Amino acid sequence: MEKQNYNHLTRTFQRLSRFDHLSAIAGWDMSTMMPTNGSQARGEALAELSVLKHQILTDKKIATLLQAAAQEDLNDVERANLREMTRHYQEAVLLPDALVEEKSLVGTRCEHGWRTQRPANDWQGFSTNLKEVVRVSREEARLRAEAKGISRYDALLDIYEPGMTSARLDVLFGDLRSWLPDLLQKVVDKQAKEKTLTPQGPFATETQRQLGLDTMALLGFDFNGGRLDVSAHPFCGGVPEDVRITTRYNEEEMFSSLFGVIHETGHARYEQNLPREWLGQPVSLARSTAIHESQSLFFEMQLGRSAPFLKLLLPKVIERFGAQPAFELNNFINVNQQVERGFIRVDADEVSYPAHVVLRYEIERALIEGDIEVEDIPALWNEKMQSWLGLSTEGNYRNGCMQDIHWTDGAFGYFPSYTLGAMYAAQLFNAASRALPNLEQEIAEGNFSPLFDWLKQNIWQHGSRFTTSQLVTNATGEDLNPLYFRKHLESRYL
């Protein structure tokens, strides 16, 4: 029978995707609505599910089917799907069931503890749980690295950004280090001469929520296939048919919530526009974490912080919160293009943001490679914050090394995707602008269809059909080129 091995595999991966669906929604509930006392039981249920998925994916017959399917007459999309199936299998088969279960359990425990330990600035309590996560992550990295013949950190990086290496990151980030601190200083000096009024609160949470929903609608979010909620750390989760995004609110300040929503809407639009005809198969999934971040940063930074978009957004802000001197157009633009050295990554502007990422990359790589221990993190964090941004985090764990959720569940290798994403976003926006000569005018008029059609045609509809390099080259005419990011920052801020 034609393609019988391939078809057998598609049924298995369809089944796995349904379990992924359950994991995603249960995980979303745990982060948003679940009562505190449900944490242990939910963690155990999710660990059980992760082991079940792992057992299905690593069944001995899968290897035989993958080999046999490679000899069958497959079209381009099916061959790409088989490539992705093989990658998922090869990643999974390197880990024993017990390690998969332990990783899920220690991650849930650490993340749950973090929710109260961070506000309490309790580094001792947090580090006790983090040590367990690091122990398990190092074991995972060791198994993956030995099988692939690469470094331990690269073995984890490869999960999130297939094909990327720390050697290439060192070149990209080394280039950033050569010009970014100087650019940051110039922009800060330039803006110090401009008098910018800060919007005066309080900004009621419910009104902020309504403004967020207004903005999601403006950006084309499909509310029949998703929703907005609150969590301790903003994220986009769920599945393409039911995308869940979250933000957090501060009544003294409205923009971190609003731009958090815009950022997560970028992730959500990508998910909502993945190829429906391939859903349930690996080829339908988003290409990589850096491409996913490129979409959120395309929305939040390239589009969201642009003068034409801010001009369009301002009447909606005034409609919700009333007029005030800070909401004069030029001041409103200046407020949202303000560059400053701050402690918090998710609130950082796009000029200082890469400093937050490179710092984390250097620490997590040293941690996974065994060059440092968990106890060394606070001092190293402080040292690197001083070096990049001139800020001290000594004793300030909650705004320093405890601020992120990523390490709690062992997502080592994820952080570089934020700055890779910013680079991809600048390159994609440049290509879209070349393809759409009236883009600025269309944004100012609220006509996003040409831009979103371009994204759908060049990124969204392809899922994982192409490698990251192929996808970006097809869309822009060249592989990743960090020059576009530098030019974008210089053009907008100098």
Looking at residue 232, what is its pLDDT? 85
Quick one: which of 264, 275, 276, 286 has its CA closest to 219? 264
Q: pLDDT exceeding 70 applies to what percent of the chain?
A: 100
Give the model confidence (pLDDT) of 228-251 as tens digits: 999 988 999 999 999 999 999 999
Does residue 1 have a pLDDT over 70?
A: no
Q: Is 356 annotated as a binding residue?
A: no
State mean pLDDT over 347-360: 96
Report angle CA 331, 336, 341 to the nearest 5 degrees. 115
Distance CA 329, CA 327 (A): 6
Catalytic residues: 264
* Residues present in the chain in total: 494
Looking at residue 295, what is its pLDDT? 98
CA distance between the termini of the chain: 64
Does residue 346 have a pLDDT over 90?
A: no
Q: Is 293 annotated as a binding residue?
A: yes
What is the pLDDT confidence band of residue 12, given thresholds at 50, 70 and 90?
very high
Does residue 453 have a pLDDT over 90?
A: yes
DSSP H helices, 273-393, are: 289-297, 307-321, 329-336, 353-369, 377-389
In contact, 130 and 107? CB cutoff 8 Å: no
pTM for the whole structure: 0.95
Distance CA 70, CA 76 (A): 12
What average pLDDT does the chain have?
A: 97
Looking at residue 233, what is its pLDDT? 82
Q: Is 263 annotated as a binding residue?
A: yes
Give the model confidence (pLDDT) of 458-479 as tens digits: 999 999 999 999 999 999 999 9
Looking at residue 347, what is its pLDDT? 87
Looking at residue 2, what is its pLDDT? 84
Note the CATH architecture for domain 123-201+215-224+262-493: Orthogonal Bundle (1.10)
State mean pLDDT over 18-47: 95
State mean pLDDT over 395-422: 97
Distance CA 221, CA 170 (A): 36
Residue type, 421: G
**At a CB cut-off of 8 Å and minimum separation 6, what does 215 contact?**
258, 261, 262, 265, 313, 316
Looking at residue 74, what is its pLDDT? 97
Q: How far is CA 412 from the centre of its chain?
A: 13
